[in-house]
Structure 1
Amino acid sequence: MNNKLEHEFFRLIKSDKHKAIQMVFEAYWNPLFKHAIKSVHCKCLAQDLVQDTFISLWDNLEILNFNKSVLAYLYAILKNKTLKFYEKDEVRSRYAISMASFGIASDSNTQNIIIEKELTLIINAEIEKMPKRMKEIYMLKKEDDLSIKQIASGLSLSEQTIKNQLQMAYQRLRTKIV
């Protein structure tokens, strides 16, 4: 983004957010779209990713750093959205492949073992990414088979806190598996 456009964008944010976004949108839609299409090789998906990128910019205008390049920020958002798409697509592909393989005449027991191992790897990787307290609560519930009341008592936390932490842990796992 050239300095003049950059300066104008940040000036407009304070007075007319719509005009500021429109200015950046018109200046950077095409470069972002070309970048996205190189990454995903699909025009419709590239358009969606770029559109989501501008929506994220709009949603985060209040926390935007005035000392940073807006174009660099947009590219970073686009990169993150593209990576998230591929992460979700990989999980969907694994699931589709595993479901399709059930139609093939083969040893279903072996298939189940392979699927179970893949799911275990995905789950274990996500458990390792959990915050320390959430991981501890999850492991007490799943590995030690403790009740919510027992966990709350042992960690000196409320039962509601334990329920909330478990719910967030389960949600994290669901998003990785689905």
Structure 2
Amino acid sequence: MKNTLETEFFKLVKCDKHKAIQMVFNAYWNTLYQHAVKKGQCKSMVQDLVQDSFISFWDKLDTINPKESVLAYLYAILKNKTLKFYEKDEVRSRYIISLSSFGIVSDSNAQNIIIEKELKHIINREIERMPPRMKEIYNLKKEEELSIKQIATGLSLSEQTIKNQLQMAYQRLRTRVRA
């Protein structure tokens, strides 16, 4: 039957390509589909690959040698389509992996920036709540970067008082940040 079918096909190609393709499609579509599904491929993907194989077959219709088996030719097209699909899929997978790892880094950076802004906001709010003298001492130490001795001299306070005020300020900030 295949021999008769293929002989009929090559006769039809000369006068009516559409009928010739329809005849081969009806005869071999299921065979190609079942072959590809047995290879463990996804059914919807297999349908697309078989369809694409027939499209390629149509495009190469004028170059097919009548001495060759049409089914063998279709199997070869299907095999090449499948290999190209997996090559593209592998490239897509590597690209997605590279994008996702890039996304994780950028998400991590974005997350760190948000956390940093929140911490600064919490710290600034707690500094504003400090008693005036504690706030002044803290700002002189952190913003002006003065030493304890310089702060004590400038405010006419003992160094121990400055240390105590800074200790209480840091304790307030630690407590607030942990909450």
Q: TM-score range by the shorter chain?
A: 0.5 to 0.7
- Structure 1 runs (4+) greater than 4 angstroms displaced: none
**Deviation for aligned residue 1:6:** 1.1
Aligned length: 106
2:96 equivalent in structure 1: 96
Unaligned segments of structure 2, at least 5 residues: 106-179
1:15 equivalent in structure 2: 15
Contact 1:54 1:74 in 2 (8 A): yes
**Deviation for aligned residue 1:27:** 0.6
AA at the equivalent of 1:67? K
Bigger Cα Rg: 2
The two structures have a TM-score, normalised by structure 2, of 0.55
1:11-46: per-residue Cα shift (whole Å, max 9, x none)?
111111111111110110111011222346211111
2:38 equivalent in structure 1: 38
Matches within 5 A, 1:1-150: 2-39=2-39, 41-104=41-104
Deviates most, 13-22 or 65-74: 13-22
Contact 1:39 1:82 in 2 (8 A): no
Unaligned segments of structure 1, at least 5 residues: 106-178
CA distance in 2, matches of 1:75, 1:101: 38
**Deviation for aligned residue 1:64:** 0.6
Contact 1:40 1:46 in 2 (8 A): no
**Structure with more relative contact order (C-alpha pairs < 8 Å, separation 6 or more):** 1
AA at the equivalent of 1:56? S
The two structures have a TM-score, normalised by structure 1, of 0.55
Deviates most, 14-23 or 70-79: 14-23
Residues 59 and 25 from structure 1, CA distance in 2 versus in 1: closer, same or farther, beyond 3 angstroms?
same
1:170 equivalent in structure 2: none
AA at the equivalent of 1:43? K
CA distance in 2, matches of 1:39, 1:83: 12
**Deviation for aligned residue 1:88:** 0.4
Residues 55 and 78 from structure 1, CA distance in 2 versus in 1: closer, same or farther, beyond 3 angstroms?
same
**Deviation for aligned residue 1:104:** 4.5
Residues 92 and 40 from structure 1, CA distance in 2 versus in 1: closer, same or farther, beyond 3 angstroms?
farther
CA distance in 1, matches of 2:40, 2:91: 16
CA distance in 2, matches of 1:28, 1:89: 26
